[in-house]
Amino acid sequence: MTDSAIPAGKYDADLDRLFGAGGPLAPAVGTFKPRQAQTEMAKAVAHAIDNQQVLMAEAGTGTGKTFAYLVPALLWGGKTIVSTGTKNLQDQLFMRDIPTIRAALRAPVSVALLKGRSNYVCHFHLERTLQNGRLTSRDDVGHLREISRFIKMTNSGDKAELAKVPETATVWNLVTSTRDTCMGAECQYYQDCFVMKARREAQQADIVVVNHHLFFADVALKDTGVAELLPSANTIIFDEAHQLPDTATLFFGQSVSTSQVLELCRDVLAEGLAHARGGPDWAKVVTVVEKAARDLRLAFGEGNLRLSLPQIMPTSQFFPALDKLKAELAGMITVLEENAARAETIEACRVRAHDLAAAIDGWKPDAKAPAAEQAVLWAEAFASSLQLHKTPLSIAPIFSNQREGTPRSWIFTSATLAVKNDFKHFSDQLGLTGEPAKTWPSPFDYVNQGLLYVPTGLPEPQAAVYTDAVVDAALPVIKAAGGRTFFLCTTIRAVNKVAERLRVEFAERGWDFPLFVQGERGRTELLDSFRTAGNAVLVGSQSFWEGVDVRGDALSLVIIDKLPFAPPDDPVLAARIEVMEKQGLNGFMHHQLPEAIITLKQGAGRLIRDVDDRGVLMICDPRLITKPYGRRIWQSLPSFKRTRVQEDVLRFFDPAAAEGDDSDAGTDA
């Protein structure tokens, strides 16, 4: 599927005025400049809203897609749900973008922010944690004190408002609820519940901002409040829509873990001792279940493994250990049933235990399911837990089913939806085949603002020396750029290896480039430090490939170590490719390559974020040149000049050396 022509709509003249030089947006946004692509995209969105249609809209970096969909949504969208890829973007829309547009247009719309329940402090669990005194670290005690103060002052209960307690602090797990641990209407704090307050506000608002995880968790679990919003929604907008296939796959599948079993055991022991001390020996009841859960993890093997059901050896101890866990869990359920009448919290544990047992029992092939609804069964081991997954082979039939019923408009937008203007990969994954799609290219002057550099002489990516060779090739370029580098890797292992080498090399060479490494601090803190430093090098993997915006001189070089192909041992990928090849398709060309191109476009998009930005995109993987599919990859990237000559890159970064040299960079890539 390629670009579709979007017919003229009745709101076109209004949008020309609103987005024009004399319109209301210019004085409201100091940096606002009219952009034809932005206005054209807004017209296409308005047309889809007016005709209750689907629109896939790819808008290159700098198009201004956020305003392009928000303006028609606020004016003509009716009740609108805007779903974003990340909570950071969700907060930005709610706190900055929507208020700016609403004020500029004087649009009388109400707006609500809705997050998953784990983002809101729970009165019940906070009270229980304060009473139990189970905290083991000084940090947790201090954090709990801050949360106790916060709950008395906050209107929303949203933990994002409490900057003093890191989002990753373990204490949050003890003071927020999950679907399993929520008491619902039976809770004594129900009237004051922040989750219920957020849902009530969302019910009444014209615009509701959610994120993809919340949207699909609701479709799958009916536990987020979105289900109550959907029937009345006229317009659904997905920003960062390229993430939808992965997010939907996650939530339309089913997962159960030994960690959930251990968490249940912890709560059963606490509630049993609190409300039924004269009953059974609660420590004995939970100990056998805990042992069975830990034995199941041990039976799977050492290390972080991912295996599909057929890959697990029939002679393995895994299957007897799984049966043992089922049996011990059934025994605990019997005890809980006998004592459920003693307390509501014991009854809640009984319900959780039943749900967990059903999920574990459901981890088996469904021979009766039609081909389109087949699932992949696989297990994933972590250091101390094991997850059992049941993942749908295709989400297209499930997602298509969600779109049936009430007519409404569905807008899917991102900077990366298409491969060379072809939307087929994205549309097939979501069952959107035949729906209107359009690309609006970036307004940036990539030919003069950027350079694509593919170094020569690097080994094949699977070589043991590959990462060292990449660092060797990168060092002179990092020096020429004066730091100011994102070093993006495809694996955490490569991140650690690159960081280790750079630390040594910078010290030996006396280079004063601050080095920031993913995992050493939170992403927001790392980015703030990177921007402030002005000459830093940041080494990161997946979470820095997208949703990161560093404008200006702080970032002038993006290095990508390898083409981001999904790992070949991924059980779901392997199963999908097997199905494709049975249908006569090439799994690599029709699935792995388009996925890698879309991910690479995201990583490349970190470089040029504004009209004045300049920089080099250094892709180290020789397959970009040596493989037949390489041309398709770089033709999908921004239209940078291309070179394989290091001197061209050094000259790009040194204006003095470039003066008087009018020759173009080499284009043999």
Quote the pLDDT of residue 225: 60
Q: pLDDT at position 6, please?
A: 65
Rounded to whole angstroms, the Cα distance separating 145 from 135 reads: 12
Contact 38, 19 (CB under 8 A): yes
Q: Which domains does the chain have, with CATH numbers?
A: 12-24+33-116+205-251+394-440 (3.40.50.300), 118-195 (no CATH), 254-392 (1.10.275), 446-658 (3.40.50.300)
Q: CA 187, CA 344: separation in Å to the nearest integer?
A: 9
Res 667 pLDDT > 50: no
Q: What is the pLDDT of residues 381-428, one digit of tens each?
A: 998 899 999 998 888 988 888 788 789 999 999 999 999 889 999 999
3-state secondary structure of 157: coil
Taking the CA atoms of residue 638, residue 90, residue 171 and residue 496 in that order, the dihedral angle to the nearest 10 degrees is 0
For the chain, give the number of residues.
669
Nearest CA among 58, 55, 39 for reference residue 421:
58
pLDDT (tens digit per residue) in 357-371: 999 999 988 777 776
Model confidence at 654, pLDDT cuts 50, 70, 90, reads confident
Backbone angles phi, psi at 413, to 5 degrees: -135, 150
| Cα 107 → chain centroid | 31
| pLDDT-based confidence at residue 223 (cuts at 50, 70, 90) | low
More confident residue, 621 or 374: 621
Residue 217 exposure: Cα atoms within 13 Å on the Cβ side? 17
Give pLDDT tens digits for 282-319: 999 999 999 999 999 999 987 778 888 888 888 889 99
How many angstroms separate the first and last alpha carbons of the chain?
Answer: 28
In terms of Cα–Cα distance, which of 390, 389, 384 is closest to 302?
Answer: 384
Amino acid identity of residue 225, one-letter, is G
86-109 average pLDDT score: 91
49 pLDDT tier (thresholds 50, 70, 90): very high
Does residue 1 have a pLDDT over 80? Answer: no
Q: 106 vs 6, which has greater pLDDT?
A: 106
Neighbours of 3 (CB within 10 A): 16
Residue 306, beta-bridge partner list: 380
- To the nearest whole number, what is the mean pLDDT of the chain? 90
| Contact yes or no for 143/104 (Cβ under 8 A) | no
pTM of the entire predicted model? 0.85
- Unique residue bearing structure tokens 């803190």: 525
| Strands annotated E in 407-510 | 409-414, 437-440, 450-453, 485-488
